[in-house]
């Protein structure tokens, strides 16, 4: 019958194409074949391991792959991905000029022309131009703002003293949002007490929920398919509302259109009325200068750029701060030692915490680092190779490969951190212990040239906050370490939230 001949011809053609593809990729496949990993199933590879993977279960799935020697080859259907769970290999990858491009998932944030997910050539120019906005001299100018916003927060939290345990994550998110507006964007909207703060968090949380749903639904990855879904419609509605009601108000407040027309010479003549000195070039000033200097950033990219700094600076810092306060509440002996150190350095309840004070809080920093070890907000990093990368004498990662870096798994690896790797112990960061570990075994802010640009900002702001909180309140919680539930998403979350009880000191 004619259809039988046609079907035979079609099957033969498909087989020939598959054979040709396998032959043309034989050298690349040989490199993947040298890597470890569990046996894969025909056609689907290891995709069944991620079937119905939820944000709460993905950590265990990656832990399973992390039990194999790194690098591990994970096949998502016919497509190989390389998973890295070794600090030495991580150092090679993060410092390679052939592995600076981000994976497809970063593009879902709709900030594809910003430092978060821009292609390498754009990222390099932006990083160079925007780096100075987080320099030590600029951060020193932010210290009074950090203290002011901390005083507002601790004042607002006073009404909860003696009240039942509650989740303080949202309070901390509004606090960090308030700081970023006043520092990086130079516009004080009083987000902790303004309805705009609540409205912004509602929109941000709704947007992240949509993005996480896409990340965990592989068939939504192709853009042309995703645009036909209700998720895309919801995403665009949220962005439109956020930009029209919140970001447009910000742009009017900073005179965006007028400043964009000014020459650099005229713009730099703006003086601080209190000191008579020139105002420092904060993030928004550097961004405007970059827009005036050339076509690397177009005027219409301004929404992406502000979305980027608000997401990168707000959600990550807020969640890290909430994790730190929760760990201190859960470990009262560590909290008390931090408190005693604070009392020795800056004891007054309303005393300004300077950058010099923050630098002297060594044990507090150890407690913060230990929290970021156990709960790194950037728990998974993903890059795409633009050329072959030689990891060592045995393994080479082929060009055009997607690399998955398990930071969470490395931070809890017993081979690196000892048999109690899952326990909270600030002594892990005693100098004598730290110097024995590979420098890439602890990466709360990523590593290499494409690390977090706001790392110093985050360190200083969160230390100032912890000082203000511990000087005023004693923290406690009913949660224990074994009850904590981890959720993966755009960043790592503790599903339980920051459950605390406050007691006035």
- Please name which of 490, 458, 493, 375 lies closest in space to residue 102, comparing C-alpha atoms: 490
5 prior amide bond cis, ω within 30: no
Residue 168 CB contacts under 8 Å (≥ 6 apart), including other chains: 157, 322, 325, 497, 498, 499, 500
Query: What dihedral do alpha carbons 417, 420, 425, 426 form, nearest 10°?
Result: -10
Residue 143 CB contacts under 8 Å (≥ 6 apart), including other chains: 352, 353, 354, 355, 460, 464
Residue 231 CB contacts under 8 Å (≥ 6 apart), including other chains: 210, 213, 214, 220
CB 104 within 8 A of CB 98: no
Q: Cα separation of 340 and 325, whole Å?
A: 16
- Two tokens at 70? 């790194």
Q: Cα separation of 311 and 197, whole Å?
A: 14
Question: In which element (H, E) is residue 79 found?
Answer: strand 79-84
The annotation status of 452 as a binding-site residue, yes or no, is yes
CB 466 within 8 A of CB 364: yes
Three-state DSSP at 475 gives strand
- Two tokens at 159? 């009404």
CB 71 within 8 A of CB 87: no
Q: How many Å is the maximal CA-CA distance in the chain?
A: 93
Q: How far is CA 6 from CA 3, 9, 10, 11, 245, in A?
A: 5, 5, 6, 9, 59
Binding-site residue set for heme: 452
Binding-site residue set: 452
């Amino acid at each position: 019958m004619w259809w039988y001949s046609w079907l035979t011809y079609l099957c033969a053609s498909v087989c020939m194409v598959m054979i040709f593809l396998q032959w043309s990729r034989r050298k690349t496949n040989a490199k993947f074949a040298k890597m470890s990993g569990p046996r894969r199933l025909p056609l689907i590879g290891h995709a069944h391991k991620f079937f119905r993977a939820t944000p709460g279960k993905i950590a265990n799935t990656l832990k399973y792959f992390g039990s194999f020697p790194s690098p591990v080859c994970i096949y998502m259907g016919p497509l190989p991905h390389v998973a890295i769970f070794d600090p030495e290999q991580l150092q090679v990858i993060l410092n390679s000029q052939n592995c600076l491009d981000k994976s497809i998932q970063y593009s879902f944030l709709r900030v594809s022309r910003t430092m978060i997910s821009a292609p390498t050539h754009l990222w390099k120019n932006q990083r160079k131009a925007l780096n100075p906005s987080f320099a030590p001299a600029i951060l020193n100018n932010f210290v009074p703002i950090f203290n002011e916003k901390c005083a507002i927060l601790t004042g607002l939290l006073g009404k909860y003293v003696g009240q039942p345990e509650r989740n303080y994550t949202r309070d901390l998110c509004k606090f960090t949002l308030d700081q970023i507006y006043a520092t990086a964007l130079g516009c004080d909207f009083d987000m902790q007490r303004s309805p705009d703060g609540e409205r912004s968090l509602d929109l941000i949380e709704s947007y992240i929920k949509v993005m996480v749903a896409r990340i965990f639904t592989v068939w939504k990855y192709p853009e042309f398919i995703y645009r036909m879904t209700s998720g895309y419609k919801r995403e665009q509605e949220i962005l439109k509302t956020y930009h029209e009601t919140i970001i447009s108000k910000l742009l009017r407040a900073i005179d965006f259109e007028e400043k964009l027309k000014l020459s650099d010479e005229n713009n730099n003549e703006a003086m601080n009325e209190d000191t008579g000195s020139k105002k420092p070039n904060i993030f928004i000033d550097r961004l405007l200068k970059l827009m005036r200097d050339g076509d690397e950033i177009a005027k219409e990219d301004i929404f992406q750029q502000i979305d980027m700094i608000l997401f990168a600076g707000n959600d990550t810092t807020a969640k890290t701060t909430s994790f730190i306060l929760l760990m201190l509440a859960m470990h009262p002996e560590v909290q008390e030692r931090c408190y005693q150190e604070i009392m020795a350095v800056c004891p007054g309840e309303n005393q300004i915490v300077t950058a010099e004070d923050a630098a002297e809080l060594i044990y507090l920093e150890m407690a913060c680092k230990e929290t970021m070890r156990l709960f790194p907000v950037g728990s998974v990093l993903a890059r795409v190779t633009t050329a072959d990368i030689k990891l060592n004498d045995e393994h080479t990662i082929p060009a055009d490969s997607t690399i998955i870096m398990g930071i969470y798994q490395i931070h809890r690896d017993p081979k690196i951190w000892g048999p109690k790797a899952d326990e909270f112990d600030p002594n892990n960061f005693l100098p004598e212990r730290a110097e024995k570990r590979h420098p890439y075994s602890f990466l709360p802010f990523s590593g290499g040239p494409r690390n977090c640009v706001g790392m110093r900002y985050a360190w200083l702001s969160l230390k100032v906050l912890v000082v203000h909180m511990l000087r005023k309140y004693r923290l406690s919680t009913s949660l224990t370490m074994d009850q904590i539930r981890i959720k993966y998403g755009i960043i790592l979350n503790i599903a339980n939230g920051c459950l605390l009880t406050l007691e006035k000191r």
